[in-house]
């Protein structure tokens, strides 16, 4: 016959170490939720791929329809990366500062870049499939 070891703190109504850090809300809020951070990190990773694929064929960045002014804004790769990093560190998007005097021919949408990357991926996959 065994007695279970008794947890000395079991049932103790006051744990002196609990709750001290949780009560100071307000100042130290994490600016982004974990899900939002994840989204930004994924965008950054996508951006690397898109630049690697599209940069060599002359694409300089992405065009994004602005929700504020309802006009397309043109962002260079570096600018996009800077904006996303700024969002990660500060939790708020930078005031939009699109590339000046852009040539629209050299910018594509996220959707186009994503489709292009998928197409390249499919081509590569097909190429390696038929050596059985």
Query: What are the Cα distances from residue 47, in Å, to 17, 84, 112, 123?
Result: 44, 10, 12, 20
**What is the C-alpha to C-alpha distance for residues 10 and 82, in angstroms, rounded to an integer?**
51
- Stretches 12-20, 22-30, 49-57, 66-74: which one binds Zn ion (CB under 5 A)? 66-74
The length of the chain in residues reads 132
Consecutive H or E run containing 120: helix 110-129
**Shortest spacing between CB 13 and Zn ion, in angstroms:** 56
Among residues 66, 78, 122, 124, the one that binds Zn ion under rule CB under 5 A: 66
Which residues, numbered 69-88, are part of the site for Zn ion (CB under 5 A)? Answer: 69
x-marked contacts with Zn ion along 92-121 as a string, rule CB under 5 A: ----x-------------------------
The 3-state DSSP class for residue 26 equals coil
Contacting positions for Zn ion (CB under 5 A): 66, 68-69, 96
């Amino acid at each position: 016959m065994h007695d279970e070891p008794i947890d000395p703190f079991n049932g103790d109504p006051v744990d002196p170490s609990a709750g001290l850090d949780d009560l100071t809300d307000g100042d130290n809020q994490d600016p982004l939720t974990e899900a939002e951070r994840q989204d930004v990190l994924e965008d950054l990773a996508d951006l690397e791929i898109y630049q690697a694929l599209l940069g060599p064929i002359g694409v300089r960045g992405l065009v994004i329809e602005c929700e504020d002014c309802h006009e397309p804004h043109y962002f260079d790769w570096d600018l996009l990366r800077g904006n996303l990093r700024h969002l990660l560190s500060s939790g708020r998007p930078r005031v939009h500062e699109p590339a000046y005097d852009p040539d629209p021919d050299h910018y594509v949408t996220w959707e186009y870049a994503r489709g292009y990357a998928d197409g390249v991926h499919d081509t590569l996959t097909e190429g390696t499939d038929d050596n059985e």
